[in-house]
Amino acid sequence: MPNMFRDILNQIRRIPRGKVATYGDVAYAAGYPGSSRQVAWALHGRGRTVPWQRVIGAGGKILLSGELGFEQRLLLEAEGVKFSGLRVRLDEFRFHFFGGRRQSKRANGKLRARTKTAATKTTTRSPRGKRRA
């Protein structure tokens, strides 16, 4: 098995019962950002030896079709994962590999990306790139 697939499968094994991660989250945690398709390939042949049902598409969607998609939903619901329509409620059930959120935080209703300056002073950037203290 290639090292990349081994790294990916090791990250999938870290996802606890009742939590989910997206293909992109797993790829990022394994050290291969942007390689979400390779996560699917790693699961393709090893589906039953890892908790495959805990890996879902971006936005909380189950991407498998037919019986496998239905089985994935049943397995997740048995673990206590809640759905809103056809999507997992990621705000509650997403597993954060690094203990925090990867995404930018909302402040005053606007999305702001956090950056650090050389002096370790935390500043924020508005969506248009203007610096704010």
**pLDDT at residue number 25:** 93
Q: Domains of the chain: which residue ranges?
A: 3-93, 103-133
The domain 3-93 is placed in CATH, from the list 1.20.950.20, 1.10.3720.10, 1.10.10.10, 1.20.120.420, at 1.10.10.10
pLDDT digits (tens, 9 = 90+) for 72-120: 999 999 999 999 989 999 889 999 988 765 544 444 444 444 444 444 4
pLDDT digits (tens, 9 = 90+) for 12-29: 999 999 999 999 999 999
For residues 26 and 30, give the distance between their C-alpha atoms in angstroms, rounded to a whole number. 6
- Cβ 4 vs Cβ 74: under 8 Å: no
Q: What integer is the mean pLDDT of 38-46?
A: 86
**pLDDT at residue number 112:** 43
**pLDDT at residue number 100:** 64
